[in-house]
């Protein structure tokens, strides 16, 4: 029985020493430095998840992915550091409250005017712990997605925003895109006119500007960037049947059961000969490629034997088809960031507690005197 009591007393003593060490300001400072160092890694190493890190990867990339350095703020070890820091702050606050409650039994009220620094310190610790909890919760349950939408086209939102309950028919459409430039040619302002559509019905319209997001169903949509790509207006004569096609690189058009052509390149000034586009043609009887030039008639006048020496410029190279390039116009693709952070209210609450602690410790009348008195009678209390 005595041996059991000594063993229990020894275990309690070890636990008390562990709690004392883990809740000390030194431990909290070390953990805070570790969190700051991890955050700096997240700003230096390009952030991308294993799913988005496509293409050939070097051994170094594999090491970074294994260590989760390519997605620091969602890594398990970053959450562990945050949890340890939060636990250290909570234990430190708990120990302070216990010490104060013991002192209250001897001295009276829980807080007196000279104890304002103690109250401020508790608010600082509690606020920091709440901020960390809100950040972790937001990272675990939040949404951070990205989508590119060509002007005039519609993209479904349900596959993009996974883990968030959305109607499967909900989509976003870029109805219009505009950009204004400085005299130097640099973009001054770009905006997207977007519409949220459900089963063909427009639920909301809004204007996206940089730093001016649009909110819909609790989710924020931000204007991130844009791309300007050339798009060709192509005339096709298919066995006497003419049609006009608006095409961009990668588009495929079928002209029969086994006959199709693909637009592979669109150039605004090809070899100083003006606008041009490259088409790859496939059929059971013939296949190859041609360059369709918008000013082919003028070029033939300058070089009468051009098509015989360079048949790849002949718009009628493939039997039964005549291709012509009407014009090339700009096509804009808007890039939109999608964000939802359920931990934001928690973080704001924690910041308010933290700022209240700073006010009590440093700005409230009488608090500085308490700090000076405390520094003169400092003990080992955390």
- HSE-CB of 8 using CA atoms within 13 angstroms: 5
Report pLDDT digits (tens) over 180-225: 888 888 888 889 999 999 888 999 999 999 888 999 988 899 998 8
pLDDT digits (tens, 9 = 90+) for 39-73: 777 666 665 544 444 445 667 777 777 777 777 77
pLDDT per residue over 252-275, tens digit each?
A: 998 888 899 999 999 988 888 889
Distance CA 33, CA 27 (A): 10
Contact status, residue 337 vs residue 222, Cβ threshold 8 Å: yes
Interacting residues of 102 by C-beta distance below 8 A, sequence separation 6+: none
In DSSP terms, 187 is beta-bridged to: 181
What phi-psi label fits residue 68: left (phi over 0), alpha (psi between -120 and 50 degrees) or beta?
left
């Amino acid at each position: 029985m005595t041996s059991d009591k000594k063993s229990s007393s020894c275990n309690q003593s070890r636990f008390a020493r562990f709690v004392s060490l883990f809740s000390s300001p030194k431990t909290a400072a070390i953990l805070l430095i570790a969190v700051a160092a991890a955050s700096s890694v997240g700003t230096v190493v390009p952030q991308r998840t294993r799913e988005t890190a496509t293409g050939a990867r070097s051994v170094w990339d594999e090491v970074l992915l294994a260590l989760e350095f390519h997605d620091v703020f969602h890594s398990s070890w970053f959450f562990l550091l945050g949890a340890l820091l939060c636990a250290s702050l909570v234990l430190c606050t708990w120990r302070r409250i216990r010490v104060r409650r013991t002192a209250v039994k001897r001295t009276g009220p829980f807080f007196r005017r000279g104890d304002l620094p103690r109250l401020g310190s508790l608010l600082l610790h509690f606020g920091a712990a709440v901020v960390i909890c809100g950040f972790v919760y937001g990272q675990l349950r939040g949404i951070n997605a990205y989508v590119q939408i060509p002007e005039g086209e519609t993209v479904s939102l349900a596959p993009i925003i996974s883990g968030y309950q959305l109607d499967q028919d909900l989509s976003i459409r870029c109805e219009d895109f505009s950009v204004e430039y400085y005299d130097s040619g640099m973009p001054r302002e770009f905006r997207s006119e977007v519409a949220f559509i459900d089963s063909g019905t427009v639920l909301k319209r809004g204007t996206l500007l940089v730093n001016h997001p649009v909110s819909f169903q609790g989710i924020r949509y931000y204007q991130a960037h844009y791309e300007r790509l050339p798009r060709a207006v192509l005339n096709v004569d298919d066995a006497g049947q003419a049609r006009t096609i608006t095409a961009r690189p990668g588009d495929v058009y079928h002209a029969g059961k086994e006959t199709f052509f693909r637009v592979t390149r669109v150039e605004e000034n090809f070899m100083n000969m003006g606008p041009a586009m490259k088409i790859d043609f496939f059929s059971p009887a013939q296949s190859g490629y041609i360059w369709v030039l918008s000013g082919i008639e003028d070029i033939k006048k300058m070089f009468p034997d051009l098509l015989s020496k360079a048949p790849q410029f002949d718009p009628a190279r493939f039997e039964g088809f005549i291709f012509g390039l009407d014009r090339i116009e700009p096509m804009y693709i808007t890039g939109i960031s999608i964000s939802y952070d359920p931990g934001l209210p928690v973080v704001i609450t924690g910041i308010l507690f933290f700022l209240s602690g700073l006010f009590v410790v440093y700005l409230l009348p009488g608090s500085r005197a308490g700090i000076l008195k405390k520094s003169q009678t400092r003990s080992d209390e955390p």
